[in-house]
């Protein structure tokens, strides 16, 4: 998370990414082209990909405001909004603009489902926990990272002092925010933010109340059969087994990361023990001082 007062300088450079289009048949028989994000918005899906900056803030907030008052086109007529986050973080003011839009939509009785996809770091993790309780999700291989806001200041002494005070205030504010949305206490969150970067995997995030669900891959046989009616029962069985293996791998990998994060005594680490045994030599005795 970065504090910035110069939004023009803070804006990310434009990429060469080509926005894909999808074609959809309309009720009157005509065909209409949509960019893929506009089509997803019709199904009440919002995606934040990349840095949190003025441009992404404007796009995401506009979609939240539109969907708050738009009639659902989903088959289940649900008014819930699904917010996918794949972001390394970004600027505090822009992130808090998205956060406030989410809380406004929630205040109108609309559930906001959040999904950590790939990575939800820094301000991305703030937006992840800001979803509706019970609706915050982490993909099996998602990485989540918390840290304190960062920034810089130059100028007169009093100007630098005020900027430092604002940064300390924002650190306290974010610790309070995480304490309000998760199982972490204000003291625990403050301690986490004193570390440079605090990385969390899905299992840890679930335990800490940062997310409510981990989305491990499982086969929905009914949907798979409808999407591909030519798939035989043997193929469905094989696919189901493959999904079970992938889910088990993801669970084991997350638990391994959880074990690595826990403080362990040096003697518990076999490689260090082995290295110590190979280099265990008696210290050389000091030569006796020559007698006069």
Each residue of 53-96: pLDDT tens digit? 999 999 999 999 999 988 666 665 678 999 999 999 999 999 99
| The predicted structure's pLDDT at residue 251 | 77
Same domain, 233 and 196: no
Question: Predicted confidence band at 255 (pLDDT cuts at 50, 70, 90)?
Answer: confident
Instruction: Report, as an integer, the average pLDDT of 221-245.
Output: 86
Same domain, 200 and 68: yes
Count of the separate structural domains present in the chain: 2
Same domain, 147 and 268: no
**Is 27 part of a structural domain of the chain?**
yes
Domain endpoint, select from 169, 188, 215: 215
Domain endpoint, select from 215, 247, 262: 215
Question: Predicted confidence band at 164 (pLDDT cuts at 50, 70, 90)?
Answer: confident
**Is 2 part of a structural domain of the chain?**
no
Same domain, 123 and 32: yes
Same domain, 210 and 228: no
Same domain, 245 and 131: no
Same domain, 248 and 135: no
Pick the range with the lowest mean pLDDT from 48-57, 106-115, 142-151, 155-164: 155-164
Q: Which candidate in 56, 87, 122, 125 is catalytic? A: 122
Same domain, 202 and 232: no
What CATH number does the domain containing 79 carry? Answer: 3.90.226.10
Same domain, 60 and 174: yes
Pick the range with the lowest mean pLDDT from 76-80, 86-90, 137-141, 222-226: 76-80
Pick the range with the lowest mean pLDDT from 29-38, 55-64, 198-207: 29-38
Question: Predicted confidence band at 154 (pLDDT cuts at 50, 70, 90)?
Answer: low
Please give the residue range of the domain that contains residue 22: 7-215
Domain endpoint, select from 193, 215, 237: 215
Same domain, 107 and 230: no
**Is 75 part of a structural domain of the chain?**
yes
Can 113 be counted among the known catalytic residues?
Answer: no
**Is 288 part of a structural domain of the chain?**
no
Same domain, 159 and 249: no
Q: Which candidate in 147, 185, 232, 257 is catalytic? A: 147
**Is 286 part of a structural domain of the chain?**
no
| The predicted structure's pLDDT at residue 71 | 67
**Is 79 part of a structural domain of the chain?**
yes
**Is 290 part of a structural domain of the chain?**
no
- Burial grade of 109 (CB within 10 A; 0-12, 13-18, 19 or more): exposed
Instruction: Report, as an integer, the average pLDDT of 32-52.
Output: 88
Same domain, 39 and 161: yes
Can 82 be counted among the known catalytic residues?
Answer: no
**Is 279 part of a structural domain of the chain?**
no
């Amino acid at each position: 998370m970065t504090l910035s007062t110069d939004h023009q300088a803070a804006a990310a450079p434009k990429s060469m990414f080509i926005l894909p289009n999808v074609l959809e048949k309309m009720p009157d028989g005509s065909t209409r082209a949509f960019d893929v994000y506009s089509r997803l918005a019709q199904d009440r899906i919002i995606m934040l990909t990349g840095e949190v900056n003025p441009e992404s803030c404007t796009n995401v907030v506009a979609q939240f405001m539109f969907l708050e008052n738009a009639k659902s086109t989903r088959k289940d007529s649900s008014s819930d909004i699904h917010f996918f986050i794949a972001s390394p973080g970004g600027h505090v003011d822009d992130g808090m603009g998205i956060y406030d839009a989410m809380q406004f939509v929630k205040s109108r009785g609309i559930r906001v489902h959040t999904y950590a996809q790939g990575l939800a770091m820094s301000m991305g993790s703030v937006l992840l926990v800001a979803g509706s309780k019970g609706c915050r999700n982490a993909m099996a291989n998602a990485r989540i990272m918390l840290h304190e806001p960062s920034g810089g200041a130059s100028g007169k002494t009093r100007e630098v002092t005020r900027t430092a005070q604002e940064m300390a205030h924002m650190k306290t504010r974010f610790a309070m925010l995480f304490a309000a949305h998760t199982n972490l206490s204000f003291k625990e969150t403050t301690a986490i933010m004193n570390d440079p970067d605090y990385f969390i995997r899905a299992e840890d995030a679930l335990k800490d109340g940062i997310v409510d669900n981990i989305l491990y891959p499982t086969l929905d046989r009914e949907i798979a059969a409808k999407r591909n009616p030519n798939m035989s029962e043997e193929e469905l069985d094989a696919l189901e087994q493959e999904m079970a293996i992938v889910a088990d791998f993801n669970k084991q990998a997350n638990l391994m990361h959880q074990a690595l994060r826990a403080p362990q005594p040096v003697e518990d680490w076999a490689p260090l023990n082995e290295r110590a045994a190979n280099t265990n030599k008696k210290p050389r005795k000091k030569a006796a001082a020559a007698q006069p």
